[in-house]
């Protein structure tokens, strides 16, 4: 299992979602990805993308104007 960090600061939605989508494509089920963003839209969009694609958001928090989401990659179909 790997744990990676993806910097999406200053990107506006849907770019953070696209970056997450592209990074997750190279990960294995069970891997974790931490995403750091500044667009509050990610609080809606990344969980929505995860629900659609079978991944799980395990943590969402805000710190100093940044939004940090932790995802766990789900099983591929």
Partner 1 sequence: MIATPRKAVALVSGGLDSMLAVKVVQEQGVHVEGINFFTGFCVEGHTHAIRKKDRKKPKRNNALWVAEQLGIKLHIIDIVEEYKEVVFNPKYGYGANLNPCLDCKIFMVKKAKEWMEAHGFDFIITGEVVGQRPKSQRRDTLPVVQRDSGIGDRLLRPLCAKNLPPTLPEREGWVDRERLYDFSGRTRKPQIALARRFGIEDYAQPAGGCCFLTDAQYSAKLQDLWSARGAKEYEMDDIMLLKVGRHIRPAPEFKLIVSREEGEGNFLQGYRYRYPSLKTVSHAGPLALIDGTVDEAGLELAARIVARYSQGKSAPEVELEFRDAEGASRTLKVAPLPPHELKREWML
What is the set of active-site residues? 13
Give dist(CA 22, CA 29) in Å, integer: 15
Cβ neighbours of residue 28 closer than 8 Å, sequence gap 6 or more: 1, 2, 73
**By the criterion CB under 8 A, which residues form the site for partner 1?**
10, 12-15, 17-18, 21, 38-41, 44-45, 48-49, 51-53, 65
Query: Cβ of residue 32: shortest distance to partner 1, in angstroms?
Result: 21
Q: Which residue has the tokens 């694609």?
A: 53
Q: Please state the closest distance from residue 26 (CB atom) to partner 1, in A.
A: 15
DSSP label at residue 38: S
Is the CB of 53 or the CB of 72 nearer to partner 1? 53
């Amino acid at each position: 299992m790997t744990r990676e960090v993806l910097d999406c600061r200053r990107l506006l939605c849907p770019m953070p979602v696209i970056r997450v989508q592209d990074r997750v494509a190279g990960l294995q089920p069970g891997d974790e990805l931490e995403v750091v963003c500044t667009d509050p839209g990610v609080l809606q969009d990344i969980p929505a993308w995860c629900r659609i694609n079978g991944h799980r958001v395990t943590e969402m928090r805000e710190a100093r104007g940044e939004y940090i989401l932790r995802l766990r990659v789900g099983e591929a179909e």
